[in-house]
Amino acid sequence: MNRVFQAKINIGNYILLILLLLVAIHSMWCVNGILLCLSLLLLVVIIERMIHTTYTITTDGMLIINNGRFSRRKEVPLSDINSIERIRGMRIGGKTISTSLLITCKNGKIFQVSPRNEDDFVKCVQKRRIQTQD
């Protein structure tokens, strides 16, 4: 059975949304149609990407990274994964606000993922790697 993990939304995404919304409001106020259309288009793309990003671990030993409808999905064989490291992002007052996982592959490719439950994601990847090796 395939296991699907949803992406978590970090504070940087919220800040980007607020800034784009302010640009859209300002361009509407100043009657700048081109900037308004561009900022609204970016808002739609970013919101869609935040909502529809999923990480699927299949039973046949593949990790599928899907970043929404407007981007290509990436398929990584679990046997090609060398390591999974936790990266701590922004810090405020010594406390980590955002974390993500860095996946390094044998062919030198690096993927950064941020599933909602990172510990379950790592455990599921390790479990499926063992199942597919047997």
Predicted confidence (pLDDT) at residue 35 exceeds the cutoff of 80 = yes
- Out of 3.20.20.70, 2.30.29.30, 2.70.98.10, 3.60.20.10, which CATH number does the structure's domain 3-133 have? 2.30.29.30
- Residue 77 class from Cβ within 10 Å (0-12 exposed, 13-18 middle, 19+ buried)? middle
User: How confident is the model over 5-17, as a mean pLDDT?
Assistant: 90
Q: How far apart are CA 1 and CA 129, in angstroms?
A: 14
* Tokens 């509407």, located at residue: 28
Q: Identify the pLDDT of residue 12.
A: 83
In sequence order, which residues have a C-beta less than 8 Å from that of residue 99 and are 6 or more positions away?
A: 86, 87, 88, 89, 114, 118
pLDDT tens readout for residues 46-82: 999 999 999 999 988 899 999 988 899 999 999 999 9
Contact between residue 81 and residue 103 where contact means Cβ atoms under 8 Å apart? yes
pTM of the complete model: 0.85
Q: Identify the pLDDT of residue 16.
A: 92
pLDDT band (50, 70, 90) for residue 42: very high
Q: How many CA atoms lie within 13 A of 111 on its CB side?
A: 24
Exposure string over 78-106, b if 16+ CB within 10 A, otherwise e: beebeebeeeeeeeeeeeeebebbebebe
Q: Identify the pLDDT of residue 88.
A: 85
- Residue 10 class from Cβ within 10 Å (0-12 exposed, 13-18 middle, 19+ buried)? middle
Q: Identify the pLDDT of residue 90.
A: 73
pLDDT tens readout for residues 74-106: 999 999 999 999 998 777 777 777 889 999 999
